[in-house]
């Protein structure tokens, strides 16, 4: 039994998948490999305070922006149940979690990746303070492993830049159990890539991603989708190396639309994009027809649009976003982010 009280803290950014994870089995094992850009400005900061506890069972209070949030504790308990065999001291303490996101709360931007990533980093730090002897590399791997058990895509947020999760024939040392930093050559154009997130809808999503993953279980096109995602990861490797922006855009937009096609063809069917999501997509395509801009969209499991473009086209793309796209955003809100 561990004793004492104290606190640990960590920061973890959000990420945007280029090849999407959609569908899982068993203990958070992905049905296909995925690849993402880790973001920079959108992150979660978490402080984990602990003190000794007498009774059995978990005791956790979660404060979001200084307010006690009843909604989060059950998710933390589920997370703790899944990770207890790897972090055995969870029952010895009562915890207070103080957490803050740099992006607007309930903006429709998933905070689960950054939030679970930050929690996992805190727990690994805590274990280390209790005499753990992992190397820096092992600590990150363990954090990614734990984050996966909180929210699948969170495991990719532990590393900066480009990361891969899911065993892939194309990526050596890739694993279903944790993400790995992308190990191959990346063209300079992709080393700093812009992601401007348009907040199309700030409401609560109608269908959560856990329900979405579940609906892939009896989905008529699921097997084809898993194959396509795995192949797309393979196709992205030479694109990232050569800096081929046009092929990059085609692949990334196809991935985004395939993700939502799965939702449209689930049983029951559901639609998370909104009319303004489509308005933005049309405008982006029109902009590309009329200019030589390399501005592409991707989507996560919601209505918001992530606009991806290279650093050297920042000015032109931001001007277009201001003039033509901002009007489709909820309260004209968008977030300028980037990966590097």
Question: Which residues lie near ligand PMV (CB under 6 A)?
Answer: 17, 20-22, 34, 112, 151-153, 209, 213, 259, 300-301
The nearest distance, CB 304 to ligand PMV, in angstroms, is: 11
Q: Which DSSP string corresponds to 26-63? A: TTTEESS-EEEEEEEEEEEEEEEEEEE--SSS--EEEE
The nearest distance, CB 226 to ligand PMV, in angstroms, is: 13
Cα–Cα dist 200/100, whole Å:
22
| Nearer to ligand PMV (CB atom), residue 301 or residue 329 | 301
The nearest distance, CB 261 to ligand PMV, in angstroms, is: 13
Cα–Cα dist 60/75, whole Å:
11
Indicate the helix (H) or strand (E) that contains 8: strand 6-19
Q: For residues 151 and 118, is the Cβ–Cβ distance under 8 A?
A: no
Q: Minimal CA–CA distance to 169: which of 224, 233, 247, 248?
A: 233
The nearest distance, CB 56 to ligand PMV, in angstroms, is: 29
| Nearer to ligand PMV (CB atom), residue 228 or residue 293 | 228
| Nearer to ligand PMV (CB atom), residue 33 or residue 46 | 33
| Nearer to ligand PMV (CB atom), residue 113 or residue 321 | 113
Q: Which ranges of the chain would DSSP assign to H, the alpha helix?
A: 73-83, 112-129, 136-150, 209-215, 222-242, 245-264, 275-290, 314-320
Q: For residues 197 and 337, is the Cβ–Cβ distance under 8 A?
A: yes
| Nearer to ligand PMV (CB atom), residue 255 or residue 313 | 255
The nearest distance, CB 213 to ligand PMV, in angstroms, is: 6
Torsion of CA 121, 124, 126, 132, to 10 degrees: -150
Cα–Cα dist 292/132, whole Å:
53
Q: For residues 317 and 288, is the Cβ–Cβ distance under 8 A?
A: no
The nearest distance, CB 35 to ligand PMV, in angstroms, is: 9
| Nearer to ligand PMV (CB atom), residue 28 or residue 313 | 28
| Nearer to ligand PMV (CB atom), residue 94 or residue 300 | 300
Please tell me the number of Cα atoms within 13 Å of 299 on its side-chain side.
Answer: 27
């Amino acid at each position: 039994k561990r004793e004492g009280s104290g606190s640990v803290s960590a920061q973890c950014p959000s990420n945007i998948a280029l090849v999407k994870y959609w569908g899982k089995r068993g203990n958070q094992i992905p049905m296909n490999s995925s690849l993402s850009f880790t973001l920079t400005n959108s992150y979660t900061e978490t402080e984990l305070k602990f003190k000794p506890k007498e009774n059995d069972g978990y005791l956790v209070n979660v404060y979001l922006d200084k307010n006690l949030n009843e909604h989060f504790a059950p998710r933390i308990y589920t997370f703790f149940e899944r990770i207890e065999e790897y972090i055995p001291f969870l029952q010895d303490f009562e915890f207070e979690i103080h957490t803050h996101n740099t992006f607007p709360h309930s903006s429709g931007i998933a905070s689960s990746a950054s939030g679970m990533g930050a929690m996992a980093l805190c727990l690994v730090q805590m274990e280390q303070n209790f005499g753990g002897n992992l190397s820096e590399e092992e600590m990150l791997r363990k954090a990614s492993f734990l984050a996966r058990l909180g929210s699948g895509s969170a495991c990719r947020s532990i590393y900066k830049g480009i990361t891969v999760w899911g065993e892939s024939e194309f990526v050596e040392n890739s694993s279903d159990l944790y993400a790995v930093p992308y190990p191959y050559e990346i063209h300079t154009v992709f080393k700093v890539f812009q992601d401007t997130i348009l907040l199309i809808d700030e409401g609560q999503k109608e269908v959560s991603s856990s329900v979405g993953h579940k609906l892939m279980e009896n989905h008529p096109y699921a097997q084809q989708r898993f194959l396509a995602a795995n192949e797309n990861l393979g196709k992205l490797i030479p694109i990232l190396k050569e800096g081929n922006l046009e092929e990059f855009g085609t692949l990334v937009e196809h991935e985004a639309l395939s993700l939502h096609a799965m939702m449209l063809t689930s049983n029951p069917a559901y639609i998370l994009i909104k009319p303004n999501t489509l308005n933005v997509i049309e405008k982006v395509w029109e902009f590309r027809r009329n200019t030589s801009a390399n501005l592409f969209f991707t989507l996560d499991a919601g209505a918001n649009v992530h606009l991806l473009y290279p650093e050297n086209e920042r000015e032109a793309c931001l001007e277009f976003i201001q003039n033509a796209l901002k009007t489709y955003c909820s309260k004209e809100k968008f977030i300028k982010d980037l990966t590097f």
